[in-house]
Structures are given as structure tokens and as C-alpha cells.
Amino acid sequence: MSEAEGERMGVATALVRSSFLVNAVYAESSREHGLTPQQGQLLCVLMPRPYGMSELGGVLGLAKSSLTGLVDRSAQRGLVRREPDPEDARAVRVALTSEGARLAKEFYAETTRRVESLAENLDETDRRVLSALLAEVVFDNKVPVVFMDFGAAPPTQS
């Protein structure tokens, strides 16, 4: 156990404190890969496929101007590119470049390893229960897919 042996937290406290913990790991991993946490999120979201700008804004929870700035900065670094949307000639999609895909894969693997290590003191049964309960919370609240479990299905890049 931790601070107070056997002390229990309420759901809200546990979830909020867990989110701070995961965000700190995510920020550290981003920094070490020369990314901002937002760029790390963008790369992970784009790993399976390109997204249109409005869909991407919805997934990342960003206003149009913030998303445009993020995509512009990432494109200047050679991590993403804008490409025509095959379904709408007026729209563009954002896709990973080969450098972006390489960095996304490294960042994803390292970040996954670090986040998983947060629960290394739990036995396998507790890890499965924790995963199932958190998945239920995520699915019930329709959380956008900002970080996938590529262990279940390999990523594809269009």
C-alpha cells in the first residue's frame, strides 16, 4: 500500500489523482522525445489512420484555431502532412509522415511501458480487474480514442 496503509480513496479522488499521475508520465515521455504532450497525443491519434480537421478537433477536444496551430507546428517539424480528403474535395486530412510514424511508434511504446509500470505492484488478477473497470468507465463515457491498445490490433497507416 501507500501513504496510509489500507486507506481507501473515493472514486473521484482515485480517478483525479490517477489522471495527474498518467499526465505526468505522458509529459515526461513527450519531453524526452522532443514533443509537447499535445504533439504526442496528435501522433498517437493519427497512428491508425488520417483524420479530417474537424473530426481531429473533436477527438482531441481542441478549438479550430488551437488545432490549426498544433498541426502547423507538427507539419513544420515534418511529423504530419495535410492531404486532400478523398471523400470531400474541399477538405483536408492530417496524416503522419514517415518520420512522424517512426516517432509515434517509439513514443507510443515508451509511454505505454511507463504507464503500465505504474501498476507493476499489482498482481495479474488485480491488473485485469483494474483494466476492465477503467475500460467500462471509458466506454460508458464515450471517451474519444486518443490512445489505442495496439496489442489487440496492429496499427495501420493509410
Residue 36 pLDDT > 90 = yes
Per-residue pLDDT band for 151 (boundaries 50, 70, 90) equals low
Query: And the C-alpha cell for 113?
Result: 511501458
pLDDT mean over 40-55: 94
Supply the pLDDT for residue 154: 40
Per-residue pLDDT tens digits for 74-133: 999 999 999 998 888 888 999 999 999 999 999 999 999 999 999 999 999 999 999 999
Q: At a CB cut-off of 8 Å and minimum separation 6, what does 89 contact?
A: none
In the chain, what are the domain boundaries? Answer: 11-140
Residue 91 sits at φ, ψ, to 5 deg, of -110, 165
User: DSSP label at 146?
Assistant: S
For residues 156 and 47, the answer to whether their CB atoms sit within 8 Å is no
Give the count of beta carbons closer than 10 Å to the beta carbon of residue 26: 19
Residue 157 pLDDT > 60 = no
The pTM of the full predicted model, rounded to 2 decimals, is 0.82
Supply the pLDDT for residue 87: 84
Query: What beta strand segments (E) does the chain contain?
Result: 51-52, 80-85, 88-96
11-140 is classed CATH 3.30.70.100 = no
HSE-up (13 A, CA, CB side) for residue 114: 17
Query: And the C-alpha cell for 18?
Result: 490517477
Residue 33 pLDDT > 90 = yes
Supply the pLDDT for residue 155: 40
Spatial distance between the Cα atoms of 99 and 97, rounded to a whole number of angstroms: 5
Supply the pLDDT for residue 69: 96
Spatial distance between the Cα atoms of 46 and 76, rounded to a whole number of angstroms: 17
For residues 57 and 64, the answer to whether their CB atoms sit within 8 Å is yes
| DSSP letters for 57-81 | HHHHT--HHHHHHHHHHHHHTTSEE
Supply the pLDDT for residue 129: 95
Supply the pLDDT for residue 158: 37
Supply the pLDDT for residue 156: 42
